């Protein structure tokens, strides 16, 4: 069978559902294929790229844009590369048509009216861009303290203005439950992404306001798992009702109890450009200052970092995905890392020499309210095999690559969220020096 | 579908494993895409109709489930197990033989050495009657002479569970190939992985080039078409030839401190041997899926060294006192003092899950209870024992011991 029946002479084999979907997209955009408008042109090219990749037949007409800029991605293609988000958009779109279940289902199920609670600081900045690219209508619910949109480092002016022109803002305080209920009810949304919720009470008004909600997608935390000698944490493992993150657990329970179609993602430590939790930044400050890295106890404690862009991808992959219905997924990097190893990885990523690491016994110090080290002093890592097997999701970034991405787009350009504070370091180093002398 | 299958060029674009992660030889790839060019294209249409798949979407799983349906009515296999006569791996062959027999396959176990040797008095060798009473054959001999030992019997599958180096295994591999054996399985070791700051060890990670097992793995990949390699860590289970949990029980029941080198936070992987056996059995029953793959033959959980001590104590219903020490400072060889590696040594069985649909069943809290029951049943808790190295450690640390 030749041709998918779109009557546009695209020449794409139409046996595969994905191809049909792509072709339909192509059919719709065929009129604009030779458009002079760059955005429409890019969209049409994306669809063409999708279809041609699936069929591996050469398109009867060559693409209008230079193939080198949109070349078949190497195995390391990124949705958002250090060299620019504009390049990334096409390799991202390739992923959309990639037969991994969720994404093509999204394309088939149409655009969603989507609300993101938050979305202006970190995860949401990347997630909202992916959703807009997917063609969804995206509203950010924030108090407006931070700018609703900001141009990302490496993002082209045209990509940013496209995004800025599409994104919507609903200004409000989510702690004002009455306002949440009335404003959401007035708007009506198909899908809610709650990426800044901490307590179950904050979610009640959202559910009350949207009785026909198709999906509630929640950013939970692997911090809910009960500490164990047996690791990694898996989604079925015991959770700790007394943990610092019990609000997240309570929210998950509420979602289950309310019978809504929910999905919960549990990240471990998130990192990447714009991170406001000083994870990689903590190491970069010390490396830049040429200071030793003080690490508590043995340094063999194992933790796990997950790149924010991989998390954003996971959030998109669960949208409209039956397999994600009422499911919890751990989302983080595929490999774990020791504390000592993380210090070395940050150095490698930033092009610094191998750091001097000083181990110390935290019990010998009183740091007051200050945190001497950004990670919990224990093993803490979760298996992401469920997300890989059920969703077909896979992290794009390995640790050093991801840290380099963060460094190149953020700290390495001179931007960071928290000023360096070496008070606790000096306490440790002074004592260590005193012991040696 | 045939038209699609011929266009295998874009199959490489559908997979994202960075080339740098592939070990040499390049055929030792954890996923079968190189040997099964059809799989990527079968996967595309298969994954489009999600209702037709019990599992979603990774193409390798699609192929695995596809093969399973075809292999459901699989013929029974004639399997030869060349089994070591000592050490931690001996019990693997024992369980594997029993599981295969239970599934209706024909099994011959060739134990290295002489039937009359003292080694045969220890488990699992003193229980080989369990193999023969289940219909299996047991033989003894020199692997270099395997063809004569099995007296011209032909086999479909050979598992070599005897090799640390090429000199030992090569004769078995060569004989298997020349006598028409279809599938060669080899028990290697996860100990060949290069230590890393980023655990776990996954299939495809760099291995130590000079390790004996590596030479065997390479040779097998060159010589055989249908091969699979298994890299185990530690195991527990009745019939084990080497102490594992017993090391902890010995100290716990005698109210002695448990000396653990380093921080005690080191991760290790301790599997019940039935998990290893089930993985091997799946490879026999899904040979196309298993072919040309390396599998970490381990449980799907890590445990810390301190954690293992605690779990053993809980299984015994007794308290435990853990004492940490620096082997260098005390002046002892940690290898002699302690049965596990003094470092993170943690592999995950990702290939087995992805490719064979294998599931882990090891449950240390439960399994150790059963192990402790047997420990007591055989009277080992009452056996008089010396703890010379322990005493040296405790002396150095000035830790009192209940007399």
d(CA B83, CA A353): 49
> Could you give the ipTM of this predicted complex?
0.80
Buried b (16+ CB within 10 A) or exposed e, A335-345: bbbbbbbbbbb
Q: A87, A81 in Cβ contact below 8 A?
A: yes
Residues of chain A numbered 294-313 and touching chain B (CB < 8 Å): 297-298, 300-302
Q: Is the pLDDT of residue B273 over 90?
A: yes
* Other Cβ atoms closer than 10 A to A143: 13
Taking an 8 Å cut-off on Cβ atoms, the answer to whether A344 and B197 are in contact is yes
- What are B370-394's pLDDT values in tens digits? 999 999 999 999 999 999 999 999 9
Taking an 8 Å cut-off on Cβ atoms, the answer to whether A391 and B55 are in contact is no
d(CA A396, CA A406): 14
Which pLDDT score, from 0 to 100, does residue A119 have?
A: 96
Chain B residues within 8 A of A90 when measuring between CB atoms: none
Which pLDDT score, from 0 to 100, does residue A287 have?
A: 98
Q: Most A CBs within 10 Å: which of B5, B6, B16, as the mutation test of the A interface? A: B16
Residue B303: closest C-alpha in chain A: A230
Residue A57: closest C-alpha in chain B: B7
- What are B38-83's pLDDT values in tens digits? 333 333 333 333 334 344 444 444 444 444 444 444 589 999 999 9
Q: Which residues contact B37 (CB under 8 A, 6 or more apart)?
A: B5, B8, B11
Residue A91 vs residue B331, higher pLDDT = B331
Residue A21: closest C-alpha in chain B: B48
Q: Collapsing DSSP states into helix, strand and coil, what is residue B161?
A: strand
Model pTM?
0.79
Taking an 8 Å cut-off on Cβ atoms, the answer to whether B265 and A18 are in contact is no
Q: Collapsing DSSP states into helix, strand and coil, what is residue B370?
A: helix
Q: B53, B80 in Cβ contact below 8 A?
A: no
Mean pLDDT for chain A overall: 82
d(CA A254, CA A250): 6
Q: A17, A9 in Cβ contact below 8 A?
A: no
Buried b (16+ CB within 10 A) or exposed e, B172-209: bbebbeebebebbbbbbbbbbbeebbbbbbbbbbebee
Taking an 8 Å cut-off on Cβ atoms, the answer to whether B364 and A18 are in contact is no
Which pLDDT score, from 0 to 100, does residue B398 have?
A: 87
d(CA B43, CA B66): 10
The DSSP 8-state label assigned to residue A191 in this structure reads: E
Which pLDDT score, from 0 to 100, does residue A110 have?
A: 81
Chain A residues within 8 A of B44 when measuring between CB atoms: 16, 18, 54, 99
Looking at the complex, report in whole angstroms how far the Cα of residue B355 sits from the nearest Cα belonging to chain A: 11
The stretches of A56-110 forming alpha helices (DSSP H) are 85-97, 102-109
Which pLDDT score, from 0 to 100, does residue B163 have?
A: 82
Which pLDDT score, from 0 to 100, does residue A11 have?
A: 52
Residue B61: closest C-alpha in chain A: A389
Q: Is the pLDDT of residue B25 over 60?
A: no
- What are B222-260's pLDDT values in tens digits? 999 999 999 999 999 999 999 999 999 999 999 999 999
- Burial (CB count <10 Å: 0-12, 13-18, 19+), residue A170: buried
Q: Collapsing DSSP states into helix, strand and coil, what is residue A224?
A: helix
Which pLDDT score, from 0 to 100, does residue A432 have?
A: 75
Taking an 8 Å cut-off on Cβ atoms, the answer to whether B16 and A338 are in contact is no
Q: Which residues contact A406 (CB under 8 A, 6 or more apart)?
A: A271, A272, A273, A275, A280, A307, A349
Taking an 8 Å cut-off on Cβ atoms, the answer to whether A379 and B267 are in contact is yes
Closest partner residue to A300 (CB to CB) among B7, B59, B344 is B344
Mean local confidence (pLDDT), B285-305:
98
d(CA B106, CA B75): 11
Q: Most B CBs within 10 Å: which of A90, A91, A322, A336, as the mutation test of the B interface? A: A336
- HEC secondary structure over B66-117: HHHHHHCCCCCCEEEEEECCCCCCHHHHHHHHHHHHHCCCEEEEEEECCCCC
Chain A residues within 8 A of B301 when measuring between CB atoms: 230-232
Q: B385, B332 in Cβ contact below 8 A?
A: no
Mean pLDDT for chain B overall: 86
Q: What are phi and psi of A84, to 5 degrees?
A: 150, 140
User: What CATH class has A67-271+325-331?
Assistant: alpha beta
d(CA A275, CA A123): 9
Residue A18: closest C-alpha in chain B: B48
Chain B residues within 8 A of A298 when measuring between CB atoms: 262-263, 265
Taking an 8 Å cut-off on Cβ atoms, the answer to whether A390 and B197 are in contact is no
Q: Is the pLDDT of residue B180 over 90?
A: yes
Q: Most B CBs within 10 Å: which of A14, A96, A335, A355, as the mutation test of the B interface? A: A335
Please state the domain extents for chain A: 67-271+325-331
d(CA B87, CA B93): 12
d(CA A129, CA A393): 18
Which pLDDT score, from 0 to 100, does residue B120 have?
A: 96
- Put simply, whether A59 touches B (Cβ < 8 Å) is no
Q: Most A CBs within 10 Å: which of B44, B45, B195, B312, as the mutation test of the A interface? A: B44
Q: Collapsing DSSP states into helix, strand and coil, what is residue B292?
A: coil
Q: B364, B248 in Cβ contact below 8 A?
A: no
A–B CB contacts, 8 A cutoff, strictly below = 130
Which pLDDT score, from 0 to 100, does residue A434 have?
A: 72
Which pLDDT score, from 0 to 100, does residue A43 have?
A: 54
CA-to-CA separations, B246 to B236, B243, B257, B277, B321, in angstroms, rounded:
9, 5, 14, 21, 16
Taking an 8 Å cut-off on Cβ atoms, the answer to whether A323 and B50 are in contact is yes
- Put simply, whether A40 touches B (Cβ < 8 Å) is no
- Put simply, whether A336 touches B (Cβ < 8 Å) is yes
Looking at the complex, report in whole angstroms how far the Cα of residue B315 sits from the nearest Cα belonging to chain A: 14
Which pLDDT score, from 0 to 100, does residue B53 have?
A: 37
Q: Are β-strands B302-304 and B267-268 bridged in parallel, bridged antiparallel, or unpaired?
A: antiparallel
Taking an 8 Å cut-off on Cβ atoms, the answer to whether A231 and B199 are in contact is no
* Parts of chain A with a pLDDT under 50: 1-4, 6-8, 12-36, 41, 44-45, 47-108
Closest residue by Cα to residue A191 from A168, A218, A220, A213: A213
d(CA B285, CA A41): 51
CATH label, B78-393, candidates 3.40.50.12280, 3.40.1410.10, 3.30.1330.40, 3.40.50.720:
3.40.50.720
Taking an 8 Å cut-off on Cβ atoms, the answer to whether B48 and A99 are in contact is yes
Residue A229: closest C-alpha in chain B: B307
- Put simply, whether A238 touches B (Cβ < 8 Å) is no
Q: What angle do CA A337, A125, A213 make, to 5 degrees?
A: 105
Residue A75: closest C-alpha in chain B: B16
Which pLDDT score, from 0 to 100, does residue A437 have?
A: 60
- What are A216-231's pLDDT values in tens digits? 999 999 999 999 999 9
């Amino acid at each position: 069978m030749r041709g998918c029946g779109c009557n546009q002479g695209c020449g794409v084999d139409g046996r595969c559902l994905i191809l049909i979907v792509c072709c339909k997209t192509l059919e719709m955009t065929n009129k604009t294929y030779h458009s002079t408008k760059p955005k429409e042109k890019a969209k049409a090219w994306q669809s063409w790229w999708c279809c041609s990749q699936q069929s591996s037949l050469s398109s009867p007409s060559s693409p209008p844009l230079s193939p080198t800029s949109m070349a078949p991605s190497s195995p390391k293609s990124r949705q958002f590369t250090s060299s620019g988000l504009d390049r990334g958009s096409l390799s991202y779109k390739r992923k959309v048509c990639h037969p991994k279940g969720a994404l093509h289902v999204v394309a088939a199920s149409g655009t969603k009216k989507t609300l993101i609670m938050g979305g202006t600081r970190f995860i949401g900045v990347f997630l909202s861009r992916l959703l807009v690219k997917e063609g969804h209508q995206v509203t950010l619910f924030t108090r407006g303290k931070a700018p609703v949109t900001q141009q990302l480092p490496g993002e082209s002016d045209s990509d940013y203005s496209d995004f800025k022109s599409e994104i919507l803002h609903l200004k409000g305080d989510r702690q004002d439950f009455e306002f949440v209920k009335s404003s959401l009810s007035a708007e009506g949304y198909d899908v809610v992404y709650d990426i800044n919720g901490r307590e179950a009470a904050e979610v009640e008004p959202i559910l009350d306001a949207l009785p026909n909600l198709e999906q509630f997608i929640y950013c939970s935390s692997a911090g809910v798992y009960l500490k164990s000698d047996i690791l990694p944490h898996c989604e079925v493992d015991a959770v700790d009702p007394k943990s610092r993150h019990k609000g997240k657990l309570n929210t998950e329970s509420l979602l289950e109890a309310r019978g809504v179609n929910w999905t919960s993602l549990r990240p471990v430590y998130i990192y990447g450009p714009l991170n406001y939790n000083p994870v990689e930044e903590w190491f970069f400050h010390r490396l830049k200052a040429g200071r030793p890295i003080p690490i508590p106890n043995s340094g063999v404690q194992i933790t796990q970092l997950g790149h924010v862009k991989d998390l954003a991808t996971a959030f998109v992959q669960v949208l409209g995905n039956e397999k994600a219905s009422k499911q919890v997924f751990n989302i983080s990097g595929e490999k774990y890392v020791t504390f000592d190893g993380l210090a070395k990885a940050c150095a490698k990523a930033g092009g610094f020499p191998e750091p001097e690491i000083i181990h110390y016994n935290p019990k010998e110090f009183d740091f007051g309210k200050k945190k001497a080290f950004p990670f919990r002093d224990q093993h803490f890592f979760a298996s992401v095999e469920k997300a890989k097997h059920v969703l077909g999701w896979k992290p794009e970034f390995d640790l050093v690559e991801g840290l380099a991405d963060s460094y190149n787009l953020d700290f390495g350009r001179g931007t960071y969220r928290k000023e360096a504070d070496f008070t606790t370091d000096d306490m440790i180093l002074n004592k260590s020096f005193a012991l040696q002398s | 579908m045939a038209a699609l299958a011929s266009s295998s060029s874009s199959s490489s674009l559908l997979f994202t494993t960075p080339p740098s992660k592939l070990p040499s030889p390049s055929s030792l790839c954890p996923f079968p895409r190189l040997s099964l060019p059809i799989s990527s294209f079968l996967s595309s249409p298969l994954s489009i109709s999600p209702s037709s798949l019990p599992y979603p979407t990774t193409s390798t799983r699609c192929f695995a489930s596809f093969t399973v349906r075809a292999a459901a009515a699989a013929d029974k296999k004639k399997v030869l197990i060349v089994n070591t006569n000592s050490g931690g791996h001996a019990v693997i062959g024992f369980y594997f033989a029993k599981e295969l027999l239970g599934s209706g396959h024909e099994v011959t176990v060739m134990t290295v050495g002489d039937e009359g040797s003292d080694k045969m008095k220890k488990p699992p060798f003193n229980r080989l009657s369990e193999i023969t009473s289940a219909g299996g054959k047991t033989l003894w001999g020199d692997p270099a002479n395997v063809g004569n030992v099995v007296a011209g019997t032909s086999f479909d599958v050979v598992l070599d569970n005897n090799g640390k180096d090429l000199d030992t295994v090569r004769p078995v591999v060569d004989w298997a190939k020349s006598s028409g054996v279809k599938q060669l399985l080899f028990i290697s070791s996860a100990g060949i992985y290069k230590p890393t700051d980023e655990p776990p060890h996954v299939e495809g990670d760099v291995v130590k080039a000079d390790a004996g097992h590596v030479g065997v793995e390479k040779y097998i990949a060159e010589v055989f078409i249908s091969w699979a390699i298994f890299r185990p860590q530690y195991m527990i289970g009745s019939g084990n030839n080497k102490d594992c949990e017993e090391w902890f029980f010995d100290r716990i029941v005698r109210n002695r401190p448990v000396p653990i080198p380093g921080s005690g936070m080191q991760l290790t992987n301790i599997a019940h041997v039935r998990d290893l056996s089930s993985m091997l059995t799946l490879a026999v029953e899904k040979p196309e899926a298993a072919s040309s793959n390396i599998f970490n033959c381990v449980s799907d959980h890590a445990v810390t060294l301190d954690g293992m001590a605690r779990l053993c104590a809980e299984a015994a219903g007794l308290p435990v006192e853990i004492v940490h020490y620096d082997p260098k400072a005390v002046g002892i060889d940690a290898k002699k003092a302690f049965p596990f590696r003094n470092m993170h040594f943690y592999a995950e069985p990702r290939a087995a899950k992805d490719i064979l649909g294998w599931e882990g069943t090891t449950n240390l809290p439960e399994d150790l209870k059963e192990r402790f029951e047997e420990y007591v049943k055989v009277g080992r808790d009452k056996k008089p024992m010396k703890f010379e190295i322990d005493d040296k450690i405790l002396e150095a640390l000035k830790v009192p011991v209940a007399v």
